[in-house]
């Protein structure tokens, strides 16, 4: 069964149609790369998946459960929106770390707040906090940040910040982790460390959607590639299909800008 099914998603801002009839599915444990020129709607798509925007039409299903059906009233969109969001994680281009918290606190904050909602929180408070702390430390260690846990974001490099942000998103064990151009705000020499982390997540079969302008990375990290053009899916397929044998003229044109 697919872990994610998106059907006929549509979104306009005012008169501008930003997403038009977007449909795709994802199998668990696979990585999907989304490429496309600026303004083609990639960010908007990720924002819809994370319930930061409400689509005008379409369906989003995770593990067979319909999280969003734009045909139902707006109040349905708001209902349990927090829980629906937890199916997805989002790593922003600009990190959006919380500046007043250390790396470790950034990673553990949301998990601690969620633990308070557990019925046995009061009785097992210290056990919860301890395991959350350990989980956070383990995630940061995985990101290669074991000696940066007590640092504040302004004391970290861009690449380190983005790795903290990835750990923060992973902390809540989302079904699908989304990346919106995770390396676009980084100096070229720092992109490598972030891409390595994402690649290692892919190697461990983390289900991921990666929006990126790093074509060679998009190609070899992904199991499936979508090329978007002005709000529509222009072409999709395996990395080899899209990158080596594109069917659409528009895809060839786009890729030619990246040929080196």
Partner 1 sequence: MTFAEQFPIVLGSLNTGFLQTFRLFLITLVGAIPLGMLLAVAEISRWKLLRAFIRTVVWIVRGSPLMIQLLIIFYFPGLVLNTPIWGGGESGRFAAASVAFIINYACYFCEIFRGGIQGIPVGQEEAGLVLGMKPAQIFFRVKLLQVIKAILPPISNEIITLIKDTSLARIIALQEIIWAGQSFMKGSQGISGVIWPLFFTGIYYLAFTGILTILFARLEKKLSYFR
Ligand X SMILES: Nc1ncnc2c1ncn2[C@@H]1O[C@H](COP(=O)(O)OP(=O)(O)OP(=O)(O)O)[C@@H](O)[C@H]1O
Which residues of the shown chain bind ligand X in the complex (CB under 6 A)?
13, 16, 18, 36, 38-44
Binding mask 63-92 for partner 1 (x = CB under 8 A): -------------------xx-xx-xxx-x
Six token digits for residue 84: 């629906």
Rounded to the nearest 5°, which phi and psi values hold at 117?
-85, -10
Please report whether residue 50 would count as binding Mg ion according to CB under 5 A: no
Six token digits for residue 176: 């699908």
CB of 45 to ligand X, least distance (A): 7
Buried b (16+ CB within 10 A) or exposed e, 192-204: ebbbebbeebbee
CB of 62 to ligand X, least distance (A): 21
CB of 256 to partner 1, least distance (A): 34
- Where do the DSSP E strands lie in 47-194? 57-62, 65-69, 88-91, 176-180
Q: Which residue in the set 30, 33, 40, 43 belongs to the binding site for Mg ion (CB under 5 A)?
A: 43
CB of 12 to ligand X, least distance (A): 9
Q: Report what 39 binds from partner 1, Mg ion, ligand X, none; CB cut-off 5-8 Å by kind.
A: ligand X
CB 89 within 8 A of CB 172: yes
Output Rg (C-alpha) for the chain, integer angstroms.
19
Q: Report what 122 binds from Mg ion, ligand X, partner 1, none; CB cut-off 5-8 Å by kind.
A: none
Please report whether residue 162 would count as binding partner 1 according to CB under 8 A: no
Binding mask 21-50 for partner 1 (x = CB under 8 A): -----------------------------x
Please enumerate in sequence order all residues whose Cβ is within 8 A of that of 34, keeping only pairs 6 or more positions apart, or say none. Answer: 42, 45, 209, 210, 211, 212, 225, 226, 227, 228
As a whole number of angstroms, the distance between CA 23 and CA 25 comes to 7
Please report whether residue 185 would count as binding partner 1 according to CB under 8 A: no
CB of 150 to partner 1, least distance (A): 11
């Amino acid at each position: 069964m697919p872990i994610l099914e998106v059907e006929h998603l549509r979104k306009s801002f005012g008169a501008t149609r930003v997403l038009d009839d977007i449909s795709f599915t994802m199998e668990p444990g696979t990585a999907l790369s989304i490429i496309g020129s600026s303004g083609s709607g990639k960010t908007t798509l990720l924002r819809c998946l994370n319930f930061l925007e409400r689509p005008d039409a379409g369906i989003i299903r995770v593990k067979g459960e319909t999280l969003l059906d734009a045909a139902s009233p707006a109040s349905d969109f708001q209902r349990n929106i927090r829980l629906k969001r937890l199916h997805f994680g989002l790593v922003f281009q600009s990190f959006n770390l919380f500046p007043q918290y250390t790396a470790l606190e950034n990673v553990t904050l949301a998990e601690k707040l969620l633990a308070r909602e557990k019925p046995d929180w009061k009785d097992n408070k210290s056990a919860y906090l301890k395991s959350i702390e350990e989980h956070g430390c383990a995630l940061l260690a995985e990101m290669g940040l074991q000696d940066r846990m007590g640092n504040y974001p302004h004391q970290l490099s861009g690449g380190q910040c983005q790795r903290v942000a990835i750990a923060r998103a992973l902390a809540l064990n989302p079904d699908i982790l989304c990346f919106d151009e995770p390396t676009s705000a980084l100096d070229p020499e720092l992109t490598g460390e972030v891409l390595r982390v994402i690649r290692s997540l892919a190697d461990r079969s983390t289900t991921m959607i990666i929006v990126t302008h790093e074509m060679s990375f998009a190609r070899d990290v992904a199991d499936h590639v979508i090329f978007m053009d002005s709000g529509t899916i222009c072409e999709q397929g395996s990395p080899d299909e899209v990158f080596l044998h594109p069917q659409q003229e528009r895809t060839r044109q786009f890729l030619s800008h990246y040929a080196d």
